Structure 1
Amino acid sequence: MNRSACLIFNPVAGQGNPEVDLAEIRAILEPAINLDIHLTTAEIGADKLAQAAVERGVDEIIASGGDGTLSAAAVAVAGTDIPLGIISRGTANAFATALGIPDTIDGACRTILQGFSRNVDVAYCNELPMILLAGIGFEAETVEKADREAKNRFGIMAYILAGFQELRELENFDVEIETPDKIIKTTAAAVTVANAAPPTSVLAQGPAGIIYDDGLLDLTIVAPNSKAGAIAATYHLFQTASSGNAAERDDIGYLRAKQFKITTDPPQKVVIDGELVGTTPVEVKCVPGALKVFVPSVPEEEPVEKLEGLPNLIIEVKE
């Protein structure tokens, strides 16, 4: 008996031909899965289509589009037992990359056909859903500078160009990070809390790998004392992301916890999954295993904790 699934397809995602893309998806999936196809529009997004599919009680939901489409569908599916298939057709494809899902249509469809699903974590930042990560400080400023026109024109390079522009105005801030068992005080230029993150999310790459189904969040602190130090720290994080080795610089720290409460002085801008949402303080909580996703494999890396070397560091252990 064939499987059945609701396919949510964003026809304006990516640089390809949507008709060709949809035809390829159908050619690969339809021999094994009965597809009920729904296209997103300017008025009806992936979130509403996924919510409607959940209410209809569908067996599976497959989302195809950029990170915005995929995250919106994931949020709607979270908390249900309906597995989500991901077919990335965007610019960055961060969501798929973070979960190890191929970013080609063929590879993503084969992953869905294999039928192996994993319960992955979801997080909430100030009650807003967070599938990937929250960036505080440098990363939020960078995302704000990378406007829609630049992203459409340059793709992921828009963030890199904006990052170099932001380096000229780099400012550190005091930060207090509270976990269930301790309070950490230090100075930083960027703080990133990741639920899941691809290697391209460089400022999240302090640990030796971000595990998306361990019930924990990964926090990375970047605390350079100069613009040159910021460039060096960013390059080091790029290397850790490429090699799978944890960061070793004194101006980079990281730790893991189920939740974080973060306050800064002065207040800093906050971005969640690529969208600017406000300023600190923030509280980020992990909801373990809230989302069932078709994935090809399970991550094996075990990150550790490192805080030594951060400037003005104070750690208070709770009783």
Structure 2
Amino acid sequence: MTGTEAGAVARLLARLAVLAALGSVVVLVLAIGDGGLEVVAAALIGLIICAVGVWWFLAYRGGVRLLGAVVAVSALAGVLVLYAFDGLWLTALVLILCWSGALACARLALRRARPRPVPARVVGERPRRPVLIMNPKSGGGKVARFGLVEKAEALGAEVILLDPSAPADVAALARKAVADGADLLGVAGGDGTQALVAAVAADHDLPFVVISAGTRNHFAMDLGLDRTDPARCLDALTEGEETRVDLGEVAGRPFVNTVSFGVYADVVQRPEYRDDKTGTALELMPDLLSPERGRRLDARVDGTPLASQQAVLVSNNPYASPDELAAGRRPRLDDGVLGVLGLWVKDAAAAADLAVRGAQSTGLTVLTARRVEVTGEGGEIPVAVDGEALRMPTPVVCTTRPGALRVRLPRERPGVTVSGPSVDWRELLALAFGHSRRTGDGHPGD
């Protein structure tokens, strides 16, 4: 699709988004006499009460926690009951559909109006001596379940199978493989193992293959790889193409996804966390969230101070939107910057503000940077690097190595998606009825 065609499509989508948003307003105005404002007010009040209940559930124990659970569930149920008994459900449904359509069209329009350079992809030569490191315990035994060892060896790869009973230095194994003549490195395992071997590949400018045999496979997800069948990742050995992505570093240690400080890092330090994640988190949360007892972090983000945070998340490239963080998608891995989220929620009112305002809340800070320095109480602080629990001396410095890693990918990647950007309504209006300075540049939609 040419830049002119993409600009016309973006403008059309922007106008549809504006019309759908206006439709929401029209429905609300027409329904004022029939409870239109009641629909919005009930939803807003229900959301606030639910957020307060969730805060009580997380920040307290005993009877207050039970009350919080009851309040949160009752708030949601109360809104639904009100809509049903007052005959407001149809108005609520139309409003939801109009607003959802407006947001969907807005994100599509802005995505086409904000073209990004397509990462350079080259069809690399088939490796002559690929070496793959596989963790048989990762992902609940996916290596054996999908026959990855046999399939990789049939494609000419040398497989180093880790011994679960004898923890190994995977970086040392990777360096030895390079010294012995490996011209490609790969990992079937979790993201922490992926990062350690990826750093060796980056240091020697060798292609790296990601095999989605971990539990969550966030790195593989953002590369568009098939997470349901890790054997498909082996296609990169034969019919592969290469692209360069960034590699994060925290205190000299590589990471491919995230580095967490604060609440989450404190929770994963506990030995019982792996066997009982929910129970451990609920047991620790009241102390971690308490203004008096909880740990506080200070950060400097490219020179910008970020004081007294309960949690700081540093990601290897930013997420599409902090409102969609749970989806865990980063639209790009080659922007050459770190994503930074700082969180400070001191009480139920702040929790309600976060629930209503999302990324605009005063309790949430969203930044990008090339260097992040985190300090805390004491000489060292807990840190979770790609989900792995560590302790590091302060200050802990996070940086990025732009384009350091050559990733070899299968040509067919079913998980490739493009996340929509955050909606900027002023830019959207300019695009719909004026001229966007970004429209028509590059190759959007190709």
TM bucket, shorter chain:
0.7 to 0.9
Per the alignment, do residues 53 and 269 of structure 1 end up closer, same or farther by CA in structure 2, a change over 3 Å counting? same
Q: Secondary structure at the match of 1:84?
A: strand
Please give the alpha-carbon distance, in whole angstroms, between the structure 1 residues aligned to 2:168 and 2:296. 42
CA contact (8 A) 1:187 1:223 kept: yes
CA contact (8 A) 1:94 1:197 kept: no
Please give the alpha-carbon distance, in whole angstroms, between the structure 2 residues aligned to 1:98 and 1:294. 14
Please give the alpha-carbon distance, in whole angstroms, between the structure 2 residues aligned to 1:67 and 1:193. 15
1:78-127 Cα shifts (integer Å, max 9, x gaps): 22221111112232323323433222223323455441222121222222
Aligned to 2:37: none
Aligned to 1:281: 395
CA contact (8 A) 1:70 1:86 kept: yes
Matches within 5 A, 1:148-159: 150-151=273-274, 153=275, 158=277
Q: Which of 118, 130, 134 matches 2:255?
A: 130
Per the alignment, do residues 13 and 221 of structure 1 end up closer, same or farther by CA in structure 2, a change over 3 Å counting? same
Q: Does residue 67 of the first structure (1) align with residue 191 of the second (2)?
A: yes
Aligned to 1:162: 280
CA contact (8 A) 1:207 1:254 kept: no
Q: Secondary structure at the match of 2:156?
A: strand
Matches within 5 A, 1:1-319: 3-4=127-128, 5-16=130-141, 18-21=143-146, 23-24=147-148, 26-27=150-151, 33-41=155-163, 42=166, 44-103=168-227, 104-110=229-235, 113-145=238-270, 147=271, 150-151=273-274, 153=275, 158=277, 160-169=278-287, 170-171=289-290, 175-180=297-302, 182-195=303-316, 209=330, 211-226=332-347, 229=350, 233=354, 247-264=359-376, 268-273=381-386, 274-295=388-409, 296=413
Per the alignment, do residues 202 and 68 of structure 1 end up closer, same or farther by CA in structure 2, a change over 3 Å counting? farther
- 1:75 CA drift (Å): 2.5
Q: What is the TM-score of this pair, normalised by structure 2? A: 0.54
Q: Secondary structure at the match of 2:140?
A: coil
Aligned residues: 283
Per the alignment, do residues 171 and 209 of structure 1 end up closer, same or farther by CA in structure 2, a change over 3 Å counting? farther
- 1:230 CA drift (Å): 5.4
Aligned amino acid, residue 39 of structure 1: L
- 1:163 CA drift (Å): 3.1
Higher helix share: 2
Please give the alpha-carbon distance, in whole angstroms, between the structure 2 residues aligned to 1:221 and 1:63. 31
CA contact (8 A) 1:80 1:290 kept: no
Per the alignment, do residues 131 and 207 of structure 1 end up closer, same or farther by CA in structure 2, a change over 3 Å counting? closer
- 1:265 CA drift (Å): 5.3
Please give the alpha-carbon distance, in whole angstroms, between the structure 1 residues aligned to 2:140 and 2:261. 30
Per the alignment, do residues 142 and 175 of structure 1 end up closer, same or farther by CA in structure 2, a change over 3 Å counting? closer
- 1:189 CA drift (Å): 1.0
Q: What is the TM-score of this pair, normalised by structure 1? A: 0.72
Please give the alpha-carbon distance, in whole angstroms, between the structure 2 residues aligned to 1:178 and 1:302. 29
- 1:264 CA drift (Å): 3.6
CA contact (8 A) 2:334 2:402 kept: yes
Aligned amino acid, residue 240 of structure 2: G
Unaligned runs of 5+ in 2: 1-124, 423-446
Please give the alpha-carbon distance, in whole angstroms, between the structure 2 residues aligned to 1:171 and 1:71. 34
CA contact (8 A) 2:265 2:384 kept: yes
- 1:20 CA drift (Å): 4.4
Q: Secondary structure at the match of 1:118?
A: strand
Which moved further from structure 2: 169-178 or 77-86?
A: 169-178
Unaligned runs of 5+ in 1: 238-245, 305-319
1:59-83 Cα shifts (integer Å, max 9, x gaps): 2222112334323322222222211
1:210-233 Cα shifts (integer Å, max 9, x gaps): 632111111101111226855985
Aligned to 1:307: none
Per the alignment, do residues 253 and 197 of structure 1 end up closer, same or farther by CA in structure 2, a change over 3 Å counting? closer
What's the RMSD between the two structures over aligned residues?
3.8
- 1:286 CA drift (Å): 1.0
Please give the alpha-carbon distance, in whole angstroms, between the structure 2 residues aligned to 1:198 and 1:109. 27
Higher strand share: 1
CA contact (8 A) 1:171 1:189 kept: no
1:245-285 Cα shifts (integer Å, max 9, x gaps): x8333311110111112234577532222222235422111
Per the alignment, do residues 77 and 208 of structure 1 end up closer, same or farther by CA in structure 2, a change over 3 Å counting? closer
- Higher alpha-carbon Rg: 2
